[in-house]
Amino acid sequence: MVALAFSSCPAMADMADNGGSFLAAGVDNGKVGVSVSIAGALTPETMKALSSGTPVTFTYVIQVNKERFLFWDRTAKQVVVKRVVKYDALKKQYLAWEKRDDEKSEDEIDFLAELKDVEYKNTDEKTVNGPSTPTAPTTGGNDTPAVLEPLILPTTREMEEWVNTTGKVDLGTARSLGAPGDYYAQARLKVKSMNPSPPMTYILFFISYLDLDTGWLQSGSFHVAHEPGPTPPGRRQSVQ
């Protein structure tokens, strides 16, 4: 039977005292879960960039590693949870999006279509019998993913809470990690600003003038012991 519930690193108390960061990881009902909260991402520089209307990305890189003796620890699973926040000065609210990928790198995950969609809608709202508006973005198709609708965060406090915490991130089954043994999770948060090029259209290459990295935060160990196979016919399963 796979165990345990979430466990916290002994050093977490020190981290909480120094800003409220924590990382918990474990197995619950055969599913691996990680929960991350990293404080300090919303520095004065970050808030200044957001208030100017510059989109800012918040990228959580989460890994689950297997502890090994005499060898380097092995990364059994990695997931990237990437978010972008943009302040809408017209409506005085924050627009936010999130994408997760188990295969792509953080640089391969972008929000260009979503930002272009917001730009198109805002321009359309302000234009009445004026110049033609920008071309509407493609919304789905065989090769084009649908444009995500933004999460609306009306207040700065709600935005801060959303940015600083991932909630529980499901990393799949414990069996998918590989061999039974002791594992631990680690996570880091990277904050970057995206530079819009005139006239406020976004290009694929980001020129980042805000570039923060929290470094790795590590959880305590949790044990994975795979569930036993099915009981052979005619044999009664023992009850402890």
**For 6-44, what is each residue's pLDDT tens digit?**
333 333 322 333 357 889 999 998 999 999 999 888 999
Taking CA atoms, 198 is separated from 15, 202, 240, in Å, by 42, 9, 70
Taking CA atoms, 195 is separated from 75, 88, 205, in Å, by 33, 16, 9
What's the burial of 228, exposed, middle or buried (CB within 10 Å: 0-12/13-18/19+)? exposed
Instruction: Give me the residues paired with residue 87 across strands.
Output: 94
Question: Are 84 and 162 contacting, i.e. CB atoms less than 8 angstroms apart?
Answer: no
Question: Are 234 and 8 contacting, i.e. CB atoms less than 8 angstroms apart?
Answer: no
Residues constituting the chain:
240
The model's pLDDT over 52-111, given as tens digits with 9 standing for 90+, comes to: 999 999 999 999 999 988 888 999 999 999 999 999 999 999 999 999 999 888 889 999
Q: Residue 200: which region, alpha, beta or left (left: phi > 0; alpha: psi -120 to 50)?
A: left
pTM: 0.75
State the Cα–Cα distance between residues 214 and 230, nearest whole angstrom: 45
Question: Are 107 and 139 contacting, i.e. CB atoms less than 8 angstroms apart?
Answer: no
Taking CA atoms, 183 is separated from 22, 74, 173, 222, in Å, by 17, 9, 13, 5
Amino acid 217: pLDDT: 92
Average pLDDT, the chain: 77
